[in-house]
Structure 1
Amino acid sequence: MSVENVMARIAELHQGLVPPSTLAPTTTGGTQFASLLSDQTASATATLDPSATAATATTAATGATAATGTAQTAGQRALAFAEQEVGQAEQPPGSNDSPRIAEYRTATAGSGIGPWCAYFVSWAAKQAGAPLGEAGQGFGSVSAVASWAQRTGRWNPAASGQPPQAGDLIVWGGQHIGIVESVDADGKIHTVEGNSSNMVTRRTHDASGDGATGYVRLG
């Protein structure tokens, strides 16, 4: 055996006696795995964290409330319908009639052409889902509206001194009726009234309602 072969064999034997080194993950591979593990852990924590879930639900609920707005009373809904009718007039003036006024009469059982302020509020209340009368029949006379309100606990006499709210019906004896639109800080009462100067119009009254006898709370 030549000297070169002997030296090569010695080198092989020496290499075989050295223990293999511990393998370490490559920098790139280790970094990618750690990053992936961190992302998945964070995702799982967010899903399982009840405080995070509650915060998300609260935000969604707040957004839904903002989108739908504050719930309205029956009176406020009736007022909204009444406000849309401002300017509707008798055709011809003094006839107590027009195609639109005929529509108001459909909210009252047994109605006919005649003074229509009570027909108007009956129509607005029915559109709002709160028809007047025990059977939702509506009323063609102001006194009938007041009597129903007194029977059912909806009546607020003007003498009580308790101011009306937007959406309340405002009553003048057995003569006339309208819907309260707003009340000023000084007590002035703004209304929407049918059959006022032969049309649906806005009026402003003093704190007494210019002699109003009472108010009806629709709900």
Structure 2
Amino acid sequence: MDNRVILLVAIGATVLASVTVYVLLQSPKEQQPEQTSPIQTSVYVQMNQDLKRSLASHNITMSSPIKLKEKSDIEKYCSLFADVKRQSLVEYCTSTELKTNDEFLGNIHIVGLADDPKVVLVLLQADPSMSNIGLIATTFDATVDSIVCTCWEDVTPDGFSSTSDWVDGLKQFHLSDTKPHSKSKQLSLYGKTLQLELAENADGYMWQLFIYL
């Protein structure tokens, strides 16, 4: 990844349970793991290729994915579960960088077993006024179309007619509260579970989309 990466430090207790993410924007020159390599497992390759095509259709550029294969790197940069036994099952972590008009937007991490991804996490940065909220919704929409299905408007999970409405709902909820962190209800769509989280940070707001596969 050329510019920046949003690094995972910790996420809540269990999969499909209440999740809290702490993220940090760092320079990969200072923080990037020493050992990375092009991904090789076919399922991860296909998922990343599909994501890249879906995002490109919205003029969002996705970098080539890297795989963090060393256990120490996985624990440091892809620590998704507080439960030690669950975290020990994470064998692969791929990471990509997103840009639009050559501006850094965020990252997508995919983790799981070899040839068996379990969680997709999209991390996107918004400025204090959330002026790029439309782009954030579009990125989440393209991700859902690629990873889950193109059936959102047919299913309207929890009554939301679009991912944009879902994003706007969490935005309004967060701005009406005083807490620095908010999260949506978990939605079920085409056999997958989705959840949004929104947290304040030094640069404005961090948007997070979890897709549990």
TM-score (norm 2): 0.23
- Greater Rg over alpha carbons, structure: 1
Choose between structure 1 and 2: higher helix proportion: 1
Choose between structure 1 and 2: higher strand proportion: 2
TM-score (norm 1): 0.23
